[in-house]
Structure 1
């Protein structure tokens, strides 16, 4: 651009304020477009898998079995929805980070004027969006086979967003730590999947031996599913307020840890 004398000068630096809202929004949109572009893999496939789970349990156990004063299928549906949501939220942020590192284009994210907090928010909210989108379509598909009653909209929304956020941030941390896809698969197979399956998705924890019930109560996945199920059925295995505190507390701790990890450049900067 030309100055008052007619000579070409250097343009003034762009002012973004305390938060680079535009950059964070664009990063979020990139994450959303990434999973929408391959919707057959990221949305349709989890939906089909969850409905197959539902069909298997319907055929093997049947509708005549009751649990928590409702049919087993009505009891199972919220747990399957939540399990699918958190697994996909984790997969979105973790795969995005690992792919960027393996392909060497992580620099495209690190070079723009985005702070560690903005990177954390952009990546994690992309995972939350995928979790919520998958959960919505899974619930929509289940309506053809199982009635979904609503006891508390607040508990449904809070735990849907809170659980998706928790696993999305956890996926981002795991993605930063992982150096190759094998590391990411190990985290998924030995941590995420066991915790989600052993969290009361398919049963009430009062059916467990007393010693194992203690282990269930220290599993944060249990509180996600229990609170989410309470929103549909009004049945809880733990105090509803406890679930709110656990999910909210874990999100704060994980967000701070993720911010500190990205800020340090751990396994991100050469």
Structure 2
């Protein structure tokens, strides 16, 4: 009986070039399957992954409005609660995008079934896109829910909805890619918690979410402008209320470059199997 041809060899007459994958340059079936898995994973527990963040964001708005809203006056020409809403929305989006990718990778590593993702014929870029699809989908759904609530209860209609949507996708992509990097790097849940508490949360809270950076001292204002999350929140604020601390175009460029940079790092880690195959 003839032996089977090894996977790395090419059978004569098949017309398949050496190194070419049988399903084409892109494994669309595998990519769709991974993306569907990541989306289904958070939809199954939607009360925890979608409803809970919306309730938390609503509580933030209610508490700040009760505590300091009436006496705060206007900020950027709008009531404080209206100024606060876009920042809370973006903060919720990026936190959930980060949680979606990081938790997915860490859980599979701890349970030992990360091999189910690594064994299929998926390239590092396809795995990256599959994970990011789940992060962006979760971020957009959370943003839509919060946006509807803001329109119903605050009467705020976004000034530039497409700009707001663009920054939502950029924010979810940036923090989703950062979640992949953190998930690959972390070996245990406590390491993941440390990254969340000491990196992600400060980036979100110290980026103009609850205040205008123009009110900060010059040194802190400069440091805030070095934080990519500041431009995400500022761009979101421009899309919703039509005003911002910095140029939306500058923010778009910085957020795009930041997403590209961290996405490239995540791709390199996935392609090499760093801390995944050992």
| TM interval, short-chain normalised | over 0.9
Residue 49 of structure 2 corresponds to which residue in structure 1?
Answer: 42
More deviation in 154-163 or 107-116? Answer: 154-163
1:149 to partner: Cα distance: 2.8
The answer as to 2:143 corresponding to 1:140 is no
* Structure 1 residue matching 2:176: 3-state secondary structure: helix
Residue 24 of structure 2 corresponds to which residue in structure 1?
Answer: 17
Distance of 1:212 and 1:267 partners within structure 2: 36
* Structure 1 residue matching 2:24: 3-state secondary structure: coil
Does the CA contact (< 8 Å) of 1:74 and 1:147 recur in 2? no
Residue 6 of structure 1 corresponds to which residue in structure 2?
Answer: none
Does the CA contact (< 8 Å) of 1:77 and 1:146 recur in 2? no
Does the CA contact (< 8 Å) of 1:51 and 1:142 recur in 2? no
Distance of 1:119 and 1:26 partners within structure 2: 10
Residue 5 of structure 2 corresponds to which residue in structure 1?
Answer: none
1:152-189, Cα deviation, whole Å (9 max, x unpaired): 22321110100110000000110000001011101100
Runs of 4+ residues over 2 Å off in structure 1: 12-15, 141-145
Does the CA contact (< 8 Å) of 2:151 and 2:157 recur in 1? no
1:189-220, Cα deviation, whole Å (9 max, x unpaired): 00000110010011100111111100000000
Distance of 1:222 and 1:185 partners within structure 2: 22
* TM, length-normalised to structure 1: 0.93
1:134 to partner: Cα distance: 1.1
The answer as to 2:222 corresponding to 1:214 is yes
Unaligned runs of 5+ residues in structure 1 are 1-11
2:246 to 200, 218, 238: 238
More deviation in 141-150 or 252-261? Answer: 141-150
1:231 to partner: Cα distance: 0.8
5 Å-filtered alignment, 1:142-161, equals 142-161=150-169
2:98 to 90, 93, 98: 90
More deviation in 210-219 or 13-22? Answer: 13-22
1:98-134, Cα deviation, whole Å (9 max, x unpaired): 0000000000000000010000000111111111111
More deviation in 72-81 or 149-158? Answer: 149-158
* TM, length-normalised to structure 2: 0.90
Does the CA contact (< 8 Å) of 1:27 and 1:122 recur in 2? yes
Residue 208 of structure 2 corresponds to which residue in structure 1?
Answer: 200
Distance of 2:243 and 2:212 partners within structure 1: 10
1:175 to 183, 186, 203: 183
Does the CA contact (< 8 Å) of 1:199 and 1:225 recur in 2? yes
Distance of 2:233 and 2:221 partners within structure 1: 15
Distance of 1:227 and 1:196 partners within structure 2: 14
Distance of 2:179 and 2:154 partners within structure 1: 31
1:202-250, Cα deviation, whole Å (9 max, x unpaired): 1100111111100000000000000110011111111111101001101
Does the CA contact (< 8 Å) of 2:87 and 2:210 recur in 1? yes
Residue 277 of structure 2 corresponds to which residue in structure 1?
Answer: 269
1:46 to partner: Cα distance: 0.5
Distance of 2:78 and 2:157 partners within structure 1: 11
2:255 to 234, 247, 250: 247
